A and B are shown apart, each in its own frame.
Chain A
Amino acid sequence: MQLTGAEILIRCLQEEKVEYVFGYPGGSVLYIYDELFKQDKFKHILVRHEQAAVHAADAYSRSSNKIGVCIVTSGPGVTNAVTGIATAHMDSSPMVIISGQVPTHYIGQDAFQECDTVGITRPCVKHNFLVKDVRDLAVTLKKAFYIAKTGRPGPVLVDIPKDITNQKCEFEYPKTISMRSYNPVVKGHSGQIKKAVQLLLEAKRPVIYTGGGVILSDAAERLIQLAQGLGFPVTNTLMGLGGYPATDKQFVGMLGMHGTYEANMAMQHCDVLLAIGARFDDRVIGNPVHFGEVARKIIHIDIDPSSISKRVKVDVPIVGNLPDVLDELQKLLDASTGNPDAKALAQWWKQIDEWRGKKSLKYKQGKELIMPQYVVEKLYEVTGGDAFVTSDVGQHQMWAAQYYKFDKPRRWINSGGLGTMGVGLPYAMGVRFANPKATVACITGEASIQMNIQELSTAKQFRLPIKIINLNNRYLGMVRQWQQMFHGNRYSESYVDALPDFVKLAESYGHVGMRIERPADVEPALREAFTKHKNDLVFMDFLTDQTANVYPMVAAGKGLSEMILAEEL
């Protein structure tokens, strides 16, 4: 039977078992929205701004390992979506973005709501397509879903001109797809894995350092088995939190710019480093020259060869899908007659415990001002450590990462790579759609939340009981912190005047608003929000200490072991 392009698109999404599509209609996608109206196999979530559609689909994907899908119209629909797409790209989130385009014969004519979508998005997608013939549509969509989720995942955009959505052809959805130009590696090189086993067993001061790859590839269980079998310390990157249980004794905390003292010291001074699904970025290892001053052997497992030896030269590169490689590694370890050097390891743990003794995350909660760290700690207690937590970007993001101890993967959703303010609320929406019964908290600040505040309306429409934890210090906190530390206390444009009354704002959208000004009220307010208002969106505006800074800190360009600790200021 002949179907129109719009019908074909809908059928393809159904074939891919898509549950939710996040989007916003417009001229170029009207045929698509007309077909969407006529079907009920998947639901469309109408956001209030295209950026939020992409973020929500992104978080839907991150919190479930299903592919997030969104639809935006041509021109401004696409340009609004770009920040969301770039955010997903930097954190390797598998997504398919469908964008409308002006009719094929208008392309290049500066038509109304025309932009060069494929050109604009090219540097921030894993791949993109412009469909010029309706007969190519089904196979292009099949490729888009395949590319998005295989190899190192990422967003794939399919640009569909309006006339294509109204032209007809025979529909057949390909069952499988093969591309001669795209064949991601799965199995790791067995010789390299053997070398890795050898190094691990010889290690005196080993560290396992894991990133977002462990979360994305669902390799957490294998990581736990490997790490606990070896008895090695484990540190996670910001994107890797939850990949290894934060409450386990082998966990030394997050590393990097705001990592714990023990994690950074262990990373700097280890003799064998096992890096898994991480990429040694500037916020993680600081200055690569300083990092390289200590001799150590590095084993790096990653699905993306270009992530290996990019910033730091490694000794044993292993390209492959993490679960497959870790299985192989475990098999060889189990079969090996050798054991980790128990004596050396005991000595190493003694050293690490000494570093732990610095208690680099301690802070003082007085009676007057609410410390932001305290709010996160109380949130952790009140939710039993079992919430899905999204964050925006800035100080509150770091506090969330430091003080909410994630024991499970896919519970911590934030923009690590691009560092996009405004993701928190749409992320929380996406998480809730993927996990309809879950407790979802969005830790944010008064600046970030205003970057997608309009989504309070979407949250109302779909009755999403998100708890917004607004750490309100009336400053762009991280900017203020850097200005205090590196720019002579000149707080250039980092004070935010004329803030809205967030309680009234929440109420005007039909939600519950709370303002919490005293430390003693923090826990009772949280308990009220998560029990009495379990089924409501609650906007909790915590007025916090304006001078609080994030510690420890490795200043940009400094070495990992050159940390500034709280008490040093």
Chain B
Amino acid sequence: MRHIISILIENEAGALSRVSGLFSARAFNIESLTVAPTEDASLSRMTIVSTGSDDVIEQITKQLNKLIDVVKVVDLSEAAHIERELMLVKVRATGKDREEMKRIADIFRGRIIDVTDSSYVIELTGNGAKLDAFLDAIDRTLILETVRTGVSGIGRGDRILKV
């Protein structure tokens, strides 16, 4: 099962390596990991997407809680939540492809944020499936480069992860 685990962690040097080291040391999966400081600069928020049986996910949350710098751990996928990922795609855009690329980007609510006479950079947000669908929809041979942030997640409504 795929789980989205959110962590509040002290924003200290080495915090990321404590988390990533734990995953490799205990042979837990990481599909993606994102991290950045929160509105309180002393805390970082991490979103980890992992797969595993319920027992494994239970161990992951327990082991994360055991890290001294970790303040809170929540399995977002246990209840209603929103997940988003940002992707930047650089595509070749010349001749008739230029118009077609713009059209597909519009359909996916993407934005073109860099233009040259032969390329676009398209910015797209959504869940992973939507980003995959966009890549499937365009002519693969036109893709020059892609970069994805990995998933960020947040609980819906009253589910708040805060100190």
Contacts and interface: CB of A to CB of B under 8 A. Distances in A.
Q: Do A and B actually bind?
A: yes
Contacts of A304: 66
Interface in B56-73: 58-59, 62-63, 65-66, 68-71
A226 B68 CA distance: 33
Given A118-B14, A122-B17, A123-B21, A306 B62 contact: yes
Given A309-B58, A310-B59, A181 B69 contact: yes
Nearest to B13: A130
Find the residue from B18, B62, B65, B163 having the highest chain A CB count within 10 A. Answer: B62
Interface string B12-54: 0110011001000100000000000000000000000000000
A126 B63 CA distance: 12
Interface residues of A, number: 18
B17 A119 contact: yes
B125 to A, nearest CB: 31
A156 to B, nearest CB: 9
Contacts of A313: 55
B163 A147 contact: no
A182 interface: yes
Contacts of A181: 9-10, 68-71
Nearest to A143: B68
A305 B67 CA distance: 12
Find the residue from A126, A304, A306 having the highest chain B CB count within 10 A. Answer: A306
Interface in A88-133: 118-119, 122-123, 126-127, 130
A122 B59 CA distance: 19
A288 B10 CA distance: 37
Interface residues of B, number: 20
Interface in A123-153: 123, 126-127, 130, 147
Contacts of B66: 304-306
A305 B65 contact: yes
Contact of A122 (B9, B13, B18, B63): B18
Nearest to B58: A309
Contacts of A119: 14, 17
Nearest to A308: B62
Nearest to B71: A181
A180 B65 CA distance: 12
A522 B18 CA distance: 52
B65 to A, nearest CB: 7
Interface in A174-192: 179-182
Contacts of B163: 180
Interface in B127-163: 163
Contacts of B63: 306
Contacts of B17: 119, 122
Nearest to B22: A123
B8 to A, nearest CB: 8
Interface in A299-325: 304-306, 309-310, 313
Contacts of B13: 130
A306 B68 contact: no
Interface in A272-316: 304-306, 309-310, 313
Contacts of B69: 127, 181
A310 B63 CA distance: 11
Interface string B107-118: 000000000000
A122 B70 contact: no
A126 B68 contact: yes
Contacts of A310: 59
B23 to A, nearest CB: 11
Nearest to A306: B62
Contacts of A182: 68
A147 B68 CA distance: 8
Contacts of A305: 62, 65-66
B71 A180 contact: yes
A123 B17 CA distance: 10
Contacts of B70: 181
28 contacts: A118-B14, A119-B17, A122-B14, A122-B17, A122-B18, A122-B21, A123-B21, A126-B68, A127-B68, A127-B69, A130-B13, A130-B14, A179-B68, A180-B163, A181-B9, A181-B10, A181-B68, A181-B70, A181-B71, A182-B68, A304-B66, A305-B62, A305-B65, A306-B59, A306-B62, A306-B65, A309-B58, A310-B59
Interface of B: 9-10, 13-14, 17-18, 21, 25, 55, 58-59, 62-63, 65-66, 68-71, 163
The 3 closest A-B pairs by CB, nearest first: A306-B62, A127-B68, A181-B71
